Amino acid sequence: MGTQDPGNMGTGVPASEQISCAKEDPQVYCPEETGGTKDVQVTDCKSPEDNRPQKETGCCNPEDSGQLMASYEGKAMGYQVPPFGWRICLAHEFTEKRKPFQANNVSLRNMIKHIGMGLRYLQWWYRKTQVEKKTPFIDMINSVPLRQIYGCPLGGIGGGTITRGWRGQFCRWQLNPGMYQHRTVIADQFTVCLRREGQTVYQQVLSLERPSVLRSWNWGLCGYFAFYHALYPRAWTVYQLPGQNVTLTCRQITPILPHDYQDSSLPVGVFVWDVENEGDEALDVSIMFSMRNGLGGGDDAPGGLWNEPFCLEHGGETVQGLLLHHPTLPNPYTMAVAARVTADTTVTHITAFDPDSTGQQVWQDLLQDGQLDSPAGQSTPTQKGVGIAGAVCVSSKLEPRGQCRLEFSLAWDMPRILFGAKGQVHYRRYTRFFGQDGDAAPALSHYALCRYTEWEERISAWQSPVLDDRSLPAWYKSALFNELYFLADGGTVWLEVREDSLPEELGRNMCHLCPTLRDYGRFGYLEGTGCWWAGIWQIVSSFPSLYTYLMPIPCLPSVSAPAALATLREDLTRRRYLMSGVMAPVKRRNVIPHDIGDPDDEPWLRVNAYLIHDTADWKDLNLKFVLQVYRDYYLTGDQNFLKDMWPVCLAVMESEMKFDKDHDGLIENGGYADQTYDGWVTTGPSAYCGGLWLAAVAVMVQMAALCGAQDIQDKFSSILHRGQEAYERLLWNGRYYNYDSSSQPQSRSVMSDQCAGQWFLKACGLGEGETEVFPTPHVVRALQTIFELNVQAFAGGAMGAVNGMQPHGVPDKSSVQSDEVWVGVVYGLAATMIQEGLTWEGFQTAEGCYRTVWERLGLAFQTPEAYCQQRVFRSLAYMRPLSIWAMQLALQQQQHKKDSRPKVEQGTGLRTGPMFGPKEAMANVSPE
């Protein structure tokens, strides 16, 4: 770009319309190098000094949601941007800058309690990082830092993801399964070029970055005239170009499609640019999409990277672009940047440029005529330590008051993957449809650009019933869909299953699951980016993951199968557990594994990567699996699945019974953190684990009836009656269920998750009438107490529900987790409130979490597991907040009750089938 005296700028824009972004020191941003272009000055936009008082970022009140757009100076609302979703001005700055939870955030009291665990952790961390050269799946020393920049991820389910931030930067990469790179790649940008009467009058990188590389490019977009709007799996960025009478709307589309097991697995994203000319002059518009081959890190250092142009014509549609070949082992891939060729557009490219240079050649190439030179042939493979990038440009004419559309796709083909142990070769799900040879990037690009309009129609049809429901608040509509980002971006893998990899016991004992696994493959995702073991079963089953039937993940039985298989196996290799220091086996028989393994090892083959506790003694894992099995049956109506799972459920419940020491029908906790709250000690009968136990026993009664096992049905009926009496006698205090039965002060704490058992039962059509387990008046009173104390008496009622609250209204600080807010637990609590008719309280509770995370803390698309009232958050991008879909299920069940009362079989006291059966459930859960 040429640099001239700012006082004599030949932009083709009247001086009165040349405005500056600088609020206090208006200056023109001028790149270092000049290009000798006469009479053309392309600068970032400038705006007059804004003397308006800036309001502080709103905390959690409904009227404060507009604060994210308070900085927006433009008037353009973009092309077909929906009214609902998460919207933020690109100039917005979050005032609150929290830190990730680290060891120095532990209170002295709790630090003394855990000093042994801390020393053992340091030994383990050193061995993992310095000796084994691996990434620790819990890294308390190098936590993922706060970056308030993320937007909707690109990419379907299980093929890897790329996140484009709300300010326009490509900034989070999860191409190797389960392994994240939080890196902004400067060369990955969209650039606009406007020409009038053969002269370039405006050329701007559509990014707020001001980097030290590519300095010949015009950086520093004026964020006050642009905003971002997300409604996953789509997002919109609207750019009003001041002084140009032009508005750009970039629409980002990912194929997340309910009940579609093909397109939803594709590693693709589409960018559709709708350009509106609001002036009276014709102009030529070009959008350039530049992309670096690789991320500029260690994976690129060996060299050998190369680019080549491609053109694919099929079915009367033509796609042109670049292939960026990244052959680095162990998981080579090819990226494709492509554009659709139409009668009204011209597609050009530059095959290779140095992304670490000034970028002068590329910038001048585009500046000269709004197109790129399009050299033929492939580039020379890079030398060691040298980077390479390429760019694709689409150009079109734009009539006065006219509009045009420019279409890009981004696809990546990494068909064959090795996990960290490099032991077994796996193939991703999408290879079933596009092949395993690593040459599918052109076909993926062509398919995406030809199918995205259909995808959008299906996305709209799926979301419209919720978005059009005027009884639902706007924040909830945003949360419901945007939290689904984790289905694709949660380190998700979706793999084909080879016939020879199916274990013998599957064919012998679970024969009905074989066709399911062949059809749907293996599926898993991480607990969170701060906790890297894949497929955390105690978390998956800790809430009724009924959202899964709304989304295109593999059918639910195929998700349960790995846990069931691992239950029957054992791994007697002994290791030292960090919390207790005790040596114990990795995996014992007839207990549910904590997880299906570490992506830096060999998941599915070696389970239980978690080593803080010996989870064979956890009180909730087995129970949640049993509840999950019944949930899957309830949703699918699959009798064969139930028959396959029944022996496993019997085995784990028999294993669980040893925790009922006094044979009163109620299990006891062991005096340490022996459940999902793995930092919160529980002793004796407890509200949380005891409630899950009774719910699981009630489900066993139902499953025994369905399987015709009368003796077992009678056995569990007897346990249930005795356990109910003990639970009420030992824990109910007239207002809520006590945390546990110990003599410690925290025994009488109000736990926000105390009704988890009832939540699960109600979500599966049980828990009332003849299947009532917990007295309804007690459940309602407990929920009211939780709302009064854990919600309204905590942080002014504006941050959701704290995990533990003392009865006199002070947060329970007896552990590192009791005074945290767990976002997914709060959404589950809200669902429980709705189930019991406390709908207003449920929405008030959940709203506090959404506004805290998405509007106050800037944690969009990285919802953490937990945050405290002040200072810290813990474990970014966590899976549990997907439980917001339990709220939607609860609302639909409430509506179903109004429409028709369920039929209960009389005389036996037991139902022989789901009260709210599978077909009805699916009809009500899925808008399709």
Model confidence pLDDT, tens digit, residues 156-195:
999 999 999 999 999 999 999 888 999 999 999 999 999 9
Give the pLDDT of residue 499.
Answer: 72
Q: Which of 173-182, 578-587, 623-632, 912-921 has the lowest mean pLDDT?
A: 912-921
In this predicted structure, the answer to whether residue 132 has a pLDDT above a threshold of 90 is no
Give the pLDDT of residue 109.
Answer: 74
In this predicted structure, the answer to whether residue 26 has a pLDDT above a threshold of 70 is no
More confident residue, 100 or 201: 201
In this predicted structure, the answer to whether residue 903 has a pLDDT above a threshold of 70 is no
In tens, the pLDDT along 556-596 reads 666 677 778 888 889 999 999 998 899 999 999 999 998 88
In tens, the pLDDT along 324-342 reads 999 999 999 999 999 999 9
Among candidate residues 95, 104, 235, the one with its CA nearest the CA of residue 165: 235
In this predicted structure, the answer to whether residue 144 has a pLDDT above a threshold of 90 is no
Give the pLDDT of residue 104.
Answer: 66
In this predicted structure, the answer to whether residue 219 has a pLDDT above a threshold of 80 is yes
Residue 251 sits at the vertex; the CA angle it makes with 455 and 398, to the nearest 5 degrees, is: 115
Mean pLDDT of the chain: 86
Separation CA 361–CA 355 (nearest Å)? 11
Please state the rounded mean pLDDT for residues 895-922.
47
In this predicted structure, the answer to whether residue 355 has a pLDDT above a threshold of 80 is yes
More confident residue, 745 or 365: 365
Q: Which two tokens stand for residue 864?
A: 């953490």
Please state the rounded mean pLDDT for residues 606-616.
90
pLDDT band at 503 (very low <50, low <70, confident <90, very high): low
Give the SS3 label for residue 106.
coil
- HSE at residue 753, side-chain half, CA atoms within 13 A, is 28
Separation CA 312–CA 318 (nearest Å)? 6
pLDDT band at 717 (very low <50, low <70, confident <90, very high): very high
In this predicted structure, the answer to whether residue 616 has a pLDDT above a threshold of 60 is yes
For residue 322, CA distances in Å to 173, 190, 310, 452 come to 20, 15, 6, 20
In tens, the pLDDT along 367-392 reads 999 999 999 999 999 999 999 999 99
For residue 300, CA distances in Å to 353, 382, 421, 563 come to 15, 9, 21, 37
pLDDT band at 138 (very low <50, low <70, confident <90, very high): confident
Please state the rounded mean pLDDT for residues 856-878.
93
Which part of the chain has CATH 1.50.10.10?
497-898
Give the SS3 label for residue 897.
helix
Among candidate residues 552, 345, 334, the one with its CA nearest the CA of residue 443: 334
pLDDT band at 555 (very low <50, low <70, confident <90, very high): low
In tens, the pLDDT along 745-773 reads 899 999 999 999 999 999 889 999 999 99
Please state the rounded mean pLDDT for residues 765-794.
97
In the chain, the N- to C-terminal Cα span, in Å, equals: 52
Give the pLDDT of residue 117.
Answer: 83
In this predicted structure, the answer to whether residue 863 has a pLDDT above a threshold of 60 is yes
Separation CA 162–CA 173 (nearest Å)? 5
More confident residue, 110 or 44: 110
The single-letter DSSP state of residue 20 is: B
Give the pLDDT of residue 541.
Answer: 39
Q: Which of 37-41, 83-87, 236-240, 771-775 has the lowest mean pLDDT?
A: 37-41
In this predicted structure, the answer to whether residue 31 has a pLDDT above a threshold of 70 is no
CB neighbour list of residue 818: distance below 8 Å, 6 or more residues apart: 677, 680, 746, 749, 803, 804, 811, 812
For residue 920, CA distances in Å to 640, 765, 893, 917 come to 19, 11, 10, 5
More confident residue, 35 or 307: 307
CATH of the structural domain 497-898, one choice from 3.90.280.10, 3.40.50.2300, 1.10.1040.10, 1.50.10.10 = 1.50.10.10
In this predicted structure, the answer to whether residue 215 has a pLDDT above a threshold of 70 is yes
Give the SS3 label for residue 381.
coil
Number of neighbouring beta carbons within 10 Å of residue 22: 16
Asked whether the beta carbons of 626 and 696 are under 8 A apart, the reply is yes
Which part of the chain has CATH 2.70.98.40?
86-94+145-461
Written as one string, the DSSP assignment of 249-296 is EEEEE----TT-SSGGG--EEEEEEEEEE-SSS-EEEEEEEEEESS-S
Give the SS3 label for residue 523.
strand
Separation CA 388–CA 377 (nearest Å)? 15
Give the pLDDT of residue 103.
Answer: 64
In this predicted structure, the answer to whether residue 29 has a pLDDT above a threshold of 70 is no
Give the pLDDT of residue 562.
Answer: 73
pLDDT band at 21 (very low <50, low <70, confident <90, very high): low
Among candidate residues 371, 100, 48, 90, the one with its CA nearest the CA of residue 223: 90
In this predicted structure, the answer to whether residue 11 has a pLDDT above a threshold of 60 is no
CATH 2.40.50.140 fits 86-94+145-461, yes or no: no
In this predicted structure, the answer to whether residue 495 has a pLDDT above a threshold of 80 is yes
Please state the rounded mean pLDDT for residues 491-498.
89
- Cis before residue 415, ω within 30 degrees of 0? no
In the chain, the percentage of residues whose pLDDT exceeds 90 is 68
Give the pLDDT of residue 505.
Answer: 60
Give the pLDDT of residue 14.
Answer: 32
In this predicted structure, the answer to whether residue 266 has a pLDDT above a threshold of 70 is yes
Among candidate residues 16, 411, 45, 390, the one with its CA nearest the CA of residue 192: 45
In tens, the pLDDT along 396-454 reads 999 999 999 999 999 999 999 999 888 899 999 999 999 999 999 999 999 999 999 99
Q: Where are the alpha helices (DSSP H) in 732-816?
A: 756-763, 776-786
Give the pLDDT of residue 901.
Answer: 61
Please state the rounded mean pLDDT for residues 694-723.
98
